[in-house]
């Protein structure tokens, strides 16, 4: 370990798929070591979205300070860049207070943006995107890909011709910066400095995870997800970003009469399961992660993790 990081403060990162018990675990860690929790879940950042996001409830939030939770207006957009900036500021403040920062979340891109940084590229341009989308609509399915190939061949080789959002971002970067996106990538990223990062991964058995996800999604509907969705869609319009996400999307379809309640629950469960799987694909690549084959609310898993964090904190001194 490099000398300058040997005495750097510890940063605990808890990652894992949805339903793996990250919240319960983070609370234990924060309580025990005077920690503050930094949310790293894209949808949980939006205010007023409660039931469908499985945010920590009020009693849970009282157990430790929480950050980047409930901090955005439902009509706003958050990007990975926004998140990384806010999270880094939050981390600085926690450090000044002498507390342990515990980053908890399931949004892989946000976590990477925070820890590794993003490349130095231009921000989104809504106008440009609108133009691209419109042109793509009447010029056929591979139009965007052909445009990108002309602007940045190696980017086009990496991005599949069907992957519209990534093609649009790449074209946007090339056009706005007047450089190839892949050239900008070569300039590197600004990774988070000054912390000893301890990544703890939760990886419960797939079958058990899916069962838990099914149960939880059903409970969300039983606890009033439909009512919450109805209210939020009235207030912010059906197009509000968080209303497009897991559970809310299906609830909205049910409200519109496109899905029966039973079908909506099934679809929501399915979407959550698929999401959990995608998260695992992402997190498996996360470097230097210590994996635990259980749920974060399992006392044995908690005990083991508490011990390991303890050891790291002692080693820090």
Partner RNA sequence: GCACAGGUGGGUGAGUGGUUAAAGCCGACAGACUGUAAAUCUGUUCCUCCUAGCGAGGUACGGAGGUUCGAAUCCUCCCCUGUGCA
Which residues form the interface with RNA (CB under 7 A)?
Answer: 41-44, 52-54, 77-82, 106-110, 112-113, 118-121, 123-124, 126, 129, 158-160, 162-166, 169, 173, 185, 189, 206, 210, 241, 244-247, 270-271, 273-275, 277-282, 284-285
We find the least distance from the C-beta atom of residue 171 to RNA, in angstroms, to be 12
- Judged by beta carbon, residue 97 or residue 215, the one nearer RNA is 215
We find the least distance from the C-beta atom of residue 35 to RNA, in angstroms, to be 21
What tokens does 72 get? 């955005």
Q: Show Cβ contacts of residue 208 under 8 Å, excluding neighbours closer than 6 positions.
A: 295
We find the least distance from the C-beta atom of residue 193 to RNA, in angstroms, to be 17
**Cα–Cα dist 113/191, whole Å:** 8
- Judged by beta carbon, residue 44 or residue 305, the one nearer RNA is 44
Q: Show Cβ contacts of residue 246 under 8 Å, excluding neighbours closer than 6 positions.
A: 18, 43, 52, 268, 271, 272, 275
Q: What are phi and psi of 292, to 5 degrees?
A: -125, 125
- Judged by beta carbon, residue 97 or residue 133, the one nearer RNA is 133
We find the least distance from the C-beta atom of residue 106 to RNA, in angstroms, to be 6
- Judged by beta carbon, residue 36 or residue 152, the one nearer RNA is 152
We find the least distance from the C-beta atom of residue 234 to RNA, in angstroms, to be 20
Greatest extent of the chain over all pairs of C-alpha atoms, in Å: 63
- Judged by beta carbon, residue 44 or residue 254, the one nearer RNA is 44
Exposure on the CB side of residue 287, measured as CA atoms within 13 A:
4
We find the least distance from the C-beta atom of residue 15 to RNA, in angstroms, to be 11
144-151: long-range contacts, CB 8 A cutoff, minimum separation 24? 144/168, 144/171, 147/171, 148/174, 151/175, 151/180
- Judged by beta carbon, residue 91 or residue 268, the one nearer RNA is 268
- Asked if residue 26 lies in contact with residue 200, where contact means CB atoms within 8 angstroms, the answer is no
């Amino acid at each position: 370990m490099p000398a300058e990081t040997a005495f750097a403060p510890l940063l605990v990162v808890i990652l894992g798929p949805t339903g793996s018990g990250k919240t319960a675990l983070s609370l234990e860690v924060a309580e025990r070591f005077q920690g503050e929790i930094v949310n790293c879940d894209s949808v949980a950042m939006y205010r007023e979205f409660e039931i469908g996001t499985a945010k920590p409830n009020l009693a849970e939030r009282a157990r430790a300070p929480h950050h980047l939770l409930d901090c955005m207006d439902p009509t706003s957009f958050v990007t990975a860049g926004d998140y990384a900036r806010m999270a880094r500021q939050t981390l600085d403040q926690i450090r000044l207070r002498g507390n342990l920062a515990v980053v908890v979340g399931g949004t892989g891109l946000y976590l990477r943006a925070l820890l590794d940084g993003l490349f130095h590229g231009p921000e989104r341009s809504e106008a440009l995107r609108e133009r691209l989308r419109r042109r793509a609509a009447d010029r056929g399915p591979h139009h965007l890909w052909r445009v990108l190939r002309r602007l940045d061949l190696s980017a086009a080789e990496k991005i599949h011709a069907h992957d519209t959002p990534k093609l649009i971002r790449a074209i946007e970067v090339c056009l706005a910066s007047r450089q190839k996106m892949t050239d900008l990538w070569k300039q590197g990223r600004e990774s988070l400095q000054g912390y000893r990062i301890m990544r703890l991964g939760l990886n419960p058995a797939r079958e058990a995870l899916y069962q838990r996800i099914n149960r939880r999604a059903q409970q969300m509907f039983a606890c009033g997800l439909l009512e919450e969705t109805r209210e939020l869609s009235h207030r912010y319009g059906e197009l509000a970003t968080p209303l497009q996400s897991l559970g809310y999307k299906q609830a909205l379809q049910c409200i519109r009469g496109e899905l029966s309640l039973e079908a909506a629950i099934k679809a929501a469960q399915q979407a959550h399961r698929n999401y959990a799987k995608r998260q695992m694909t992402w997190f498996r690549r996360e470097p230097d992660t210590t994996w635990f084959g259980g749920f974060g609310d399992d006392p044995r898993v908690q005990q083991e993790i508490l011990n390991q964090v303890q050891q790291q904190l002692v080693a820090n001194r």
